[in-house]
Amino acid sequence: MAVGVFDSGLGGLTVLDALQKRLPEVPFVYFGDNAHAPYGVRDADDIFALTCAATERLWAEGCDLVILACNTASAAALRRMQDGWIPQDKRVLGVFVPLIEALTERQWGDNSPPREVAVKHVALFATPATVASRAFQRELAFRAIGVDVEAQPCGGVVDAIEQGDEILAEALVRSHVEALKRRMPHPQAAILGCTHYPLMAAAFQEALGPEVAVYSQANLVAESLADYLARRPEFVGAGQVSKALTTGDPKSVSSKATQFLRRRISFESA
């Protein structure tokens, strides 16, 4: 009954942690493509190929349902994957939609026409590839009208987090927030559009100010998955064992992941 969780590196561990707390009875297989991280500076074809390969590896582990706990993969590859690549007995879900539904205060599965919402000025912080894809704006347009989105590509933040350099990551966050606020001085809400960024949530909040609502994804994705599995239990796969796989060096990734999650997690070679 395993569910797969994929990320280009360590960021998806924030989603994995929330999923395990929300659904403790479900085994999760995590796949980190650390050898090819970060994805945020790659082109769309490269991201698509790497994401497909990782998804197939998770299917081989008995995960009929795979969560792309990577905004870059969700933005640059998911729609193309869903357009004829995914077999009918499998499902691949991204992390954008639960976030947008929370922002627009729409119930899960509400497919009514887009409408006016309370939030009018939204700051999006994401990787360069996610920003370039405009996937967030596209998904938002399906659900809301009249929302101004200002996107800031946050180069370097993922690398600093993956390297454990918190001081550099915080400095980069402040720099990116300042750059965005020059274009949108008074955002009402901020989207942390990368699963690495919750680790820097306090830095984002401090730089943005207490009046800005900051949205990150982990708990929202966990609630959405619980709802999805309740409605579609046939997509709980045959796998029975929780494990963590990496294309990188398992010892090094395990050490960084343990520091990242503040609890022990052991990776094995994918």
Q: Which residues are catalytic?
A: 70, 194
Give CA–CA dist 182/148, Å, rounded.
15
Which residues neighbour 124 within 8 Å (Cβ) at sequence distance 6 or greater?
131, 136, 149, 150, 151, 152, 190, 191, 193
155 labelled ligand-binding: no
Give CA–CA dist 159/128, Å, rounded.
13
176 labelled ligand-binding: no
Give CA–CA dist 76/48, Å, rounded.
7
216 labelled ligand-binding: no
127 labelled ligand-binding: no
196 labelled ligand-binding: yes
Residue of 262, 225, 269 whose CA lies nearest to 243: 269
H, E, C per residue of 143-203: CEECCEEEEEECCCHHHHHHCCCHHHHHHHHHHHHHHHHHHCCCCCEEEECCCCHHHHHHH
7 labelled ligand-binding: yes
215 labelled ligand-binding: no
71 labelled ligand-binding: yes
The annotation places the binding site for substrate at 7-8, 39-40, 71-72, 195-196
The annotation places the binding site at 7-8, 39-40, 71-72, 195-196
